[in-house]
A and B are shown apart, each in its own frame.
Chain A
C-alpha cells in the first residue's frame, strides 16, 4: 500500500473536491422552485450546447467504457474496436428522431421515454413495459460503474468494499440534494481530467514503447491465430451487428434521453450530434490502450484465482506513469463512474415516479410530491446497485449489462419508431416487445462463458450454427451475431404482423394526444391553442383516423 500512497492521496483529494462541487451544484443556475421534476430531474430543461456536450459526453462515455473497451481489445483483439463504429454511426442515426422526441417532450412536459409512449400509443400497458424495461436495463449499468471504480481501487491496493460504499454514499447524498445539476457540473471536471490523461497516455506510452508500429506488432503476434489485429470471416458479422445494434440501443437508455431532454433547444441537440464524436475519437484512442498493455507486457490483477481484465488499464497507468500522474488518471476513471451513475439513478427514479408511482400508485401526485418521490427512488436505486456489486460476482454484472443492451433495444418500435409514425398498433407494439424480449433472453440463455465457467448468459454473441448451417447462406460456419440485433428484428416483424391483424379485425387504436406539429416545435415558439393536456386520457383530442 505504501508504494501507492502518492496515488491514493492525489486521487482522494480530487474526489473530495468533486464531492464538494456536487453539493454546491444545487445553487448553480438556481431555480425559484427546486421541488419540481423539471428542476431536480432535468436541470430546468435549460442546458445550452456546452453543458449538454459535457453532460451527455459524461453520461454516455462511462468509466466502465474506459475500462472495459481496452480490456476487450487486450483479450479479443480487433473485435473490441467495434466501440468506434458504434459511437460514429450513433449520432447521424439519432439526429432526426432525437430532435423530434425533444420537441414533443418540450410541448407536453414529458420527462421519460415512457411518458412519450403513454401519450403517443395511448397504451398504458406499453408505457409500463417501457418504464420497467428502462429501469431493469439501467440497474446493472449503474452497478458496472462501480466495477470501474473497483478496478482502480484494486490497482491502488485499497480495500474496494469500504471505499466503494463511502464513494457511493457521497454520490447518493449530493444527487439527492442537487439532482441533475450535480453530474452536469462534475462532468466538466471529469471530462477535463479524462482528456488530459488520455492525450498524455497516447503520446507518452507509445513513445516509451518505441512507437505505434511496435504496439500493433505486439498485438499481431498475440492474435496470430485469429487473423491478427483485423477481423476474420467468423466475427465480421458480430462486429457489424454489435456496432449497429449498440448504436440503436444507446439513445433508448433512459439516462441518455434524460441528458437530451435537459437541453434548451433543438439546435443544442443538433450541434451536439456534431460535437459529441470528439468523445468517440477519445474512445478510439482509449481502446488502443489495450494493445499498449500487450506491448508493455502488463498483467491484469489476479483475484481469487481469476485474472481481472478490467484492471488492465489501471495497471498500465500504474506501470507507465509517475505516481502523481497515475493518481490523477485513477481519479479521472473514478469520477468518470460517478457522473453516469448519478444520471442513470436520476433517470431510473424519474421512470419510477412518472410511470409507476403517478400512473398506478397515486395519480393525483403534485409536482413537489413527484420530485420528492424521485429523490427517494434515486437513493433506493443506488443502494440496489451497490448491493449488486457487493453480493454478486462483478463478472456476473457485466453479463447483466449485456442483457441490458438486448432488452432496452426492445423498446425501439414504441419509442424510436413512435417519433416518426404511429402506424404500429398498440397491441402490435406489445406483442413485438414480448416476442423480442422472449427470443433475446432465450438466445442469451444459451450462450456460455468459458472464461468464468458460466453455462448461461455468458455474453451477447450468438453462434448461428446453433440454429442452422451458416454456410448454406454463404457465411463462415463460425459466424456469430449480436443477440440484440436478431431480437429487435423479430420484435419489428411481429409488431408489423400483429398491426396488420389488428387493422383487419378493426381493433380500436389508442388515443394519440400528440399532434404532427408537436414534433417540430422549438423553444420559444408559442404553443398553439388548444393547449395539449399532459397525459390526458380519453376526452381530447380526436384519435388520429386510421385506414
Chain B
C-alpha cells in the first residue's frame, strides 16, 4: 500500500510505521494452501489441515501483539 501524500511526518510515526509490514506475515501464511492441505501428521486426532490452520490463529495474535506494543501511543 502506498503511504499517503507528502506530510512533514513526525519521525516517531515513520519509524514505528515500518513495523506494520510485519502484519503481512499472518495475512499471507494462512493462504498458502500447500502448507496445510494434507492429513499427516495428525495432532490429537486432528488432521494437519485442521490443527495447523487453528495454530495460525496464534501466529496472527502474536504478530498483532508485537505490532501493538511497538506502535502503541502512551495513553489510552
Contact of A264 among B24, B42, B68, B76 (CB under 8 A): B76
Contact with A along B55-67 (1 / 0, CB 8 A): 0110111011101
CB <8 Å contact, B2 and A92: no
Tell me the minimal C-beta distance from B5 to chain A in angstroms: 7
Q: Which residues of B, 42-57, contact A by the 8 Å Cβ criterion?
A: 42, 44-47, 49-50, 53-54, 56-57
Interface string of A266-284 (1 = CB under 8 A from B): 1110110110010011001
Complex contacts, A231 vs chain B, CB 8 Å: 33, 37, 49
A95, A230, A264: the one contacting B47 at CB < 8 Å is A230
**How many residues in B have their beta carbons less than 8 Å from beta carbons of A?**
45
Please report the C-alpha to C-alpha distance between residue A240 and residue B38 in the assembled complex, in whole angstroms.
16
Residues from chain B with Cβ under 8 Å of A92 in the complex: 23-27, 60, 63-64
What is the distance, in angstroms, from A39's C-beta to the closest C-beta of chain B? 21
Given known pairs A93-B27, A274-B64, A544-B5, the reply for A522 and B33 (CB within 8 Å) is no
Q: Could you tell me the distance in whole angstroms from the C-beta of A492 to the nearest C-beta in chain B?
A: 12
Q: Tell me what chain B mostly uses at the interface: helix, strand, loop, or mixed.
A: helix
Q: Which of A206, A215, A243, A520 contacts B30 (CB 8 A)?
A: A243
Find out whether the CB atom of B61 lies under 8 angstroms from the CB atom of A274: yes
Counting chain A residues whose Cβ lies within 8 A of the other chain, the interface size class is 35 or more
A85 near B30 (CB under 8 angstroms)? yes
Once the chains bind, are B50 and A81 in contact (CB under 8 Å)?
A: yes
Once the chains bind, are B45 and A212 in contact (CB under 8 Å)? yes
Q: Whole-angstrom distance from the CB of A278 to the nearest CB of chain B? A: 8
A516 on the B face (CB < 8 A): yes
Q: A176 contacts the other chain (Cβ, under 8 Å)? A: no
The residue among A95, A213, A239, A243 with the most chain B CB atoms within 10 A of its own CB is A95
**A517 interfacial by beta-carbon distance below 8 Å:** yes
- Residues of chain A touching chain B, judged by Cβ–Cβ distance below 8 Å, are 78, 81, 84-85, 88-89, 91-93, 95-96, 206, 211-213, 215-216, 228-231, 236, 239-240, 243-244, 264-268, 270-271, 273-274, 277, 280-281, 284, 288, 417, 420-423, 516-517, 519-520, 522-524, 544
The 7 A-B residue pairs whose C-beta atoms are closest, nearest first, are A212-B45, A265-B76, A516-B7, A213-B45, A92-B23, A85-B30, A274-B64
Given contact pairs A267-B72, A417-B1, enumerate 9 new A-B contacts (beta carbons under 8 Å): A85-B53, A88-B60, A89-B26, A96-B23, A229-B50, A267-B73, A274-B65, A284-B50, A516-B5
Chain B interfacial positions (CB closer than 8 Å to A) = 1-7, 9, 13, 20, 23-27, 30-31, 33, 37-39, 42, 44-47, 49-50, 53-54, 56-57, 59-61, 63-65, 67-68, 71-73, 75-76
